[in-house]
Amino acid sequence: MKARGIAIIDMSIDGGFKEAAAEEVALEKLIADYCKGNPRIVHYQVELRERRGEPGAVDLNKMKFRAN
């Protein structure tokens, strides 16, 4: 069976791009460490983007994902 796990983490980062970059590196390391120990994971990708709107405003059940 194929499956895709999706997680949304809203962050409030004091500072600017430097601090956000440090958080992105920490998040990448956390996910990489999890993936290394799990033989079921065939691919992973991590990206930190600017958030708009209120924290927690995203409902994964209502999101639509494209299948390319």
Per the domain annotation, does 60 fall within a domain?
A: no
Predicted confidence at residue 34, as pLDDT, reads 95
Amino acid occupying residue 48: L
Rounded distance, CA 33 to CA 23, Å? Answer: 15
Grouping H, G, I as helix, E, B as strand and the rest as coil, residue 24 is helix
2 in a structural domain: no
Domain count within the chain: 1
Residue 33 lies in a domain: yes
Indicate whether 20 belongs to any domain.
Answer: yes
**31 in a structural domain:** yes
Structural domain boundaries enclosing 32: 15-39
| C-alpha to C-alpha distance for 36 and 7, rounded to whole angstroms | 18
pLDDT at residue 60, rounded to an integer: 84
| Intervals of the chain under pLDDT 50 | none
Q: Euclidean distance between the first and final Cα of the chain, in Å?
A: 19
Q: Is residue 67 part of a domain?
A: no
